[in-house]
Amino acid sequence: MPDLVLHRGRENSVLRRHPWIFSGAVQRLNGNPASGESVRVLDSHGHVLGYAAWSPASQIRARMWSFGADIPIDRAFLQRRIDAAQEWRASIVDAAQTNAYRLISSEADGLPGLIVDQYDSVLVCQFLSAGAEYQREHILDILQERFPSALLYERSDTDAREKEGLPPRSGACRTVDPTETIMIVENGLRFHVDVRNGHKTGFYLDQRDNRALFRRYCRDADVLNCFSYTGGFAVAALSGGARQVTDVDVSTEALRLAEENVRGNGFDTSRYAQIEGDVFHFLRSCRDSRKQFDVIVLDPPKFAASASQLERAARGYKDINLLALKLLKPGGLLFTFSCSGHMTEPLFRKIVSDAAVDAEREVHVLSLMTQAADHPVALHIPESWYLKGLLCRVD
């Protein structure tokens, strides 16, 4: 097996069990591994630190599969990791109420670059790193064995593949294509999901618990759902007894599915409205017309894809939170989120605090929110805690 030797002092992150080895940490490579092939990781004194997947095109030059022990990275290793991930989900997901969840969550499940989301009988896979790509056939074999009746569909079409020197790829894996939309159940509510073309793998599964919490605060409320996508928070609000719900999104197709989801759950569509357009512009128009709401949700897409974009992202988060705070009635509630991994919780809290000062509103945090438990946070991998949310009362 090829050896990857680190510069002196650059082994500390690996000893803390962080799986990423950046190019600047590499002293030398003994051997000529193919992209994604496993390498043995050594410190500058020759001590074995573990085993990683080699990625010559990425700034993250290697991603650790295992630490310390001499564990071969083979089909049996992958099977153990996948089985452990499946057992964990079975213990935390109420199958009677929910049939869609994240089955494998990349580094947080010890499988760097591999995402698998289960939508009823469809498994949507993303192979986002050189290592996951190299092991793709083994992984698909295991998934077919463990889920013999499932359809496998691939959505390896994100920017992460490009950074790994891999071309985008999507389509059925060894099975027929799934139907145009899949019906799932989340917390007893039904949703149409487009796994072929939707955001991420089709649905924001990580917000499941937050939608359940949100549902409890919507009775008789006038609710504004910004960046609404396919209406997950809207359906939750209506199921919680909201008086009126308005979805705002730029996507015609997302809003079409949102309306189907409202109708599919049997709600009165006279209580539901849609605005197709830019959220920032809509919020400013509401401010100018003095429109107010009881509850507002801000669940924007990732504003910071890299650390270099963080400053600009902070301005965007402050802008939408400032506008939303001005639109809430006294005693109103703001559910505000950031899904940018580079945005830390303290920084996000400060941004919302600064927006509250500028809006001249008294704001109290009622709850901190994060991703659902099937999107686990590994304490030794800060990047795995990507979704931050605040439930705020605004006076």
The residue extents of the domains of the chain are: 3-67, 75-172, 204-394
Read off the DSSP letter of residue 361.
-
Say which residues have a Cβ less than 8 Å from residue 172's Cβ, sequence separation at least 6. 151, 152, 153, 154, 178
CATH number of 75-172: 3.30.750.80
Say which residues have a Cβ less than 8 Å from residue 361's Cβ, sequence separation at least 6. 325, 326, 328, 394, 395
Q: For residues 100 and 206, what is the distance between their CA atoms, to the nearest angstrom?
A: 10
Domain 75-172 shares a fold with domain 204-394: no
- In the chain, DSSP finds a helix count (H) and a strand count (E) of 11, 20
What does the block give as tokens for 167?
Answer: 């071309």
Q: What is the pTM of this model?
A: 0.94
Determine how many CB atoms are found less than 10 A away from the CB of residue 149.
7
pLDDT per residue as tens, the chain (395 positions): 899 999 999 999 999 999 999 999 999 999 999 999 999 999 999 999 999 999 999 999 999 999 987 788 999 999 999 999 999 999 999 999 999 999 999 999 999 999 999 999 999 999 999 999 999 999 999 999 999 999 999 999 999 999 999 999 999 999 999 998 999 999 999 999 999 999 999 999 999 999 999 999 999 999 999 999 999 999 999 999 999 999 999 999 999 999 999 999 999 999 999 999 999 999 999 999 999 999 999 999 888 777 788 888 899 999 999 999 999 999 999 999 999 888 899 999 999 999 999 999 999 999 999 999 999 999 999 999 999 999 999 99
Q: How many residues does the chain have?
A: 395
Q: Are 127 and 133 in contact (CB under 8 A)?
A: yes
Catalytic residue among 218, 226, 339, 392: 339
| Catalytic residue check, 339 | yes
What does the block give as tokens for 69?
Answer: 């022990």
pLDDT the model gives residue 340: 87
Continuous segment of H or E residues that includes residue 345: helix 345-359
Q: For residues 387 and 372, what is the distance between their CA atoms, to the nearest angstrom?
A: 9
What does the block give as tokens for 357?
Answer: 């000062």
Backbone angles phi, psi at 27, to 5 degrees: -80, -50
Strands (E) located in 7-165? 20-22, 26-30, 38-42, 48-54, 60-67, 100-105, 114-119, 122-127, 151-156
Architecture of domain 204-394 in this structure: 3-Layer(aba) Sandwich (3.40)
Q: For residues 115 and 106, what is the distance between their CA atoms, to the nearest angstrom?
A: 5
Chosen CATH of 3-67 out of 2.30.130.10, 3.40.50.620, 1.10.10.10, 3.40.190.10: 2.30.130.10
Q: For residues 296 and 63, what is the distance between their CA atoms, to the nearest angstrom?
A: 40
